Chain A
Amino acid sequence: MGLFNSTMLDVIIGLIFVYLLLSILCTAANEWVATLTRRRGELLRKGIHQLLENQKIIGEENNDGFLRAFYRHPLITSIMHDKNHPAYIAPRVFAAVVTDLLTAAKPGSIEFNDLEVGAKGLPDGQVKKSVLAIVQRSDQKLEAAQAAIEGWFNDSMDRVTGWYKRRTQIWTLIIALALTVVANADTVQIVRRLWQDPVLRAAVVEEAKVRAQKPPPTLSVEYKDEDDPTNPTVTRNKGNTLSGKERELVGQLLGWHGPFLTNLGWTTLVGWPLTVLALSMGAPFWFDLLNKFMNVRFAGKSPDEKPK
């Protein structure tokens, strides 16, 4: 019998399967938290505030007059949902609103000079400084100035996306930790149960086979416009649910059994962090690994199987 006999292989498959199911739950929870906290919209609000705050406008004493006017503009109010900040604002909409606010005194069509005059006419502040720096490098062309304002916004959105990614990573770890503790998902205990219970192990491998045959948890990306690669919305496919059989198996492998303290031991110190680390790898990783091991497992006859 080889060192990695079928029991060993099945235990590995079982553990990967559990990691995959927990990762799927983790992803689903993270998406739920993102929706609940309106993560993208709130970070976009923060990004826009950083660009437009500390700028008065003539006739208004408020320090953030320009920012308030921006959010009162019809192009922006039309994309607000029940006072919730939109998750996306197209760069050209941003540039159009800023240009319109700067040239409010000039009805009808505008030219480069109107934009420059409008910017110079603002009280001293952050927007005035930024816009003047931009328009003065636009070769006196309105289109170039508007493109530069879009670029200014895009640079800021790059930062917003960075915040979003970091925030998501932090939430993934928090959710993984919470899930591990609530479900007592101790890697060492999972391995022990799989090793010691051949019936459970066989059921887990069988279910892992079913899961491996399902479509992979691929991602889907959507842009506001097929020619505009800014601010993509990324979602995972709808494999984010566990079947009844999978939930039942997870229940047998994880959980708190008997008095609380009897569940905790030296293995918890190792097993919990291992599980949290594993979940942070994400469902696609474990799906791929599960497929690789299933290929090995079912590529040939099991070493334990007697010849017929």
Chain B
Amino acid sequence: MQPLKRFQSFLLLALLITSPLVVRADITVALTKGFVKKFKDKATVPTTFQVDKHHNKPNPIGGGSDDGDVHIAGRDSVVKLPMVAEIINGKRESDTFDFLMGMSAGQSIPLVGVCRLWFEHPGNEDQIMGQTVPVPGNTNPDHIFEFHPVAKFGNFDCLDSFLPIADQSNEFRGHPADKAFASYEQRPGTITQSNTAIMIMSNKAGFNYTDFEMRLTGNPKDVGDGFIVLADVFMPGAAANADPLTQEPRRMIFVKGSKPADKVATMSKGGKLHVLGIPRVNLNEVFAVANGLQGHDEYSEGGLPYEMIIVALLKD
């Protein structure tokens, strides 16, 4: 064999051997239809959360992944999937954080968190609601579902953390809207159903926090624990006649009691807000799609349905 061919053969084998490390397969998350039906139009999920691992200090505030969050990995009694709860603005939530630091591993606590299904850390294995959730080995185990942000931790109200993520010297701004929404709009997603379950398949997603301007295309709807409103998405400060960054208006989710929710409750169609948001799978659309499927058909044409959780109002 010639040296070049030999080298090529070596590269071929090396590529295949290392491919499992670098290539992420599509991962499926399975949820009961009852769960999707119950929470498809809700902002939050109330649950009992068993704390297994947690940060010993909040993430620093800066760029990239320095988002000021406190990660708590654990297992919960409602969603029954690998789970991480994230308190935003961890430094501001010092009372909650001090309480968390005093908790012992395995201790359970009532928690209300924004229900967020997103393929940010999907890992390599399908995640099926109700299967045994392994005890997490670190604060950020493979997970598709998270409570992010946490609204209530035990008796500690965390709604006052729904503010711009900042400390004395730095402010976390999130990804630019044009890049982030271009990615969200193209996320692959396949939805299938059985008699009792809905399966959503996608792969690893990026662009966690995004800085954008939303312009309401309808009036906010009170859904009990929050408000949902349809809005077009723009770059902050975009011209009045600019084209939206999304093909159609997207649902925006506000948690009742937070500053963003207080603000949107006073607004109506045509109003605009500069916000910091994080994406999650739109379970309402997932449910509607699954209901329209015949038997074991699958749906993937529309990509992964998503909506935005509004975590802070930003200054222009």
Q: Do A and B bind each other?
A: yes
Q: Nearest residue in B to A12 (C-beta to C-beta)?
A: B12
The interface size of chain B toward A, counting residues with CB under 8 Å, comes to 41
Question: Shortest beta-carbon distance, B68 to chain A, in Å?
Answer: 33
> Which of chain B's residues 112-145 have a Cβ closer than 8 Å to chain A?
124, 126, 128-133
B258 to chain A, nearest CB (A): 29
A220 and B203 alpha carbons, distance in the complex (Å)? 17
Instruction: Point out the residue from B25, B194, B196 that lies within 8 Å of A289, measured CB to CB.
Output: B25
User: Do A229 and B129 touch across chains, with their CB atoms under 8 A apart?
Assistant: yes
Given A226-B33, A274-B17, A289-B25, is A218 in contact with B190 using a C-beta cutoff of 8 Å?
Answer: yes
Closest to B24 in A: A288
Residues of B close to A225: CB separation below 8 A: 34, 196
Q: Does A110 contact B (CB under 8 A)?
A: no
- Which partner residue on chain B sits nearest A286 by CB separation? B25
Q: How far is the CA of A50 from the CA of B8 in the complex (A)?
A: 56
Query: In the assembled complex, how far is the CB of residue A294 from the closest CB belonging to chain B, in whole angstroms?
Result: 14
**Docked complex Cα distance between A231 and B80 (Å):** 11
* Residues in chain A near residue B199, CB distance under 8 A: 218-221
**What 1/0 mask marks residues of chain B from 21 to 37 whose CB sits below 8 Å from any chain A CB?**
00101101011111101
- Which bracket fits the contact residues of A? 35 or more
B9, A195: Cβ atoms under 8 Å? yes
Distance from A169 Cβ to chain B, minimum over Cβ atoms (Å) = 11
The answer to whether A165 and B130 touch across the interface, beta carbons within 8 angstroms, is: no
A225→B196 CA distance, assembly (Å)? 6
Binary contact readout A245-286 vs B (1 if CB under 8 angstroms, 0 otherwise): 000000000000000000000000000001000100100110
CB distance from B74 to the nearest CB of A (A): 14
Known: A232-B129, A234-B128, A289-B19. Contact between A223 and B32, CB under 8 A? Answer: yes
Near B by CB (< 8 A), chain A positions 174-205 give: 187-188, 191, 195
Q: Is the CB of A288 within 8 A of B23?
A: yes
Q: Are A229 and B130 in contact (CB under 8 A)?
A: yes
A–B pairs, 9, beta carbons within 8 Å:
A3-B8, A12-B16, A219-B199, A220-B194, A221-B196, A222-B196, A222-B197, A230-B130, A288-B25
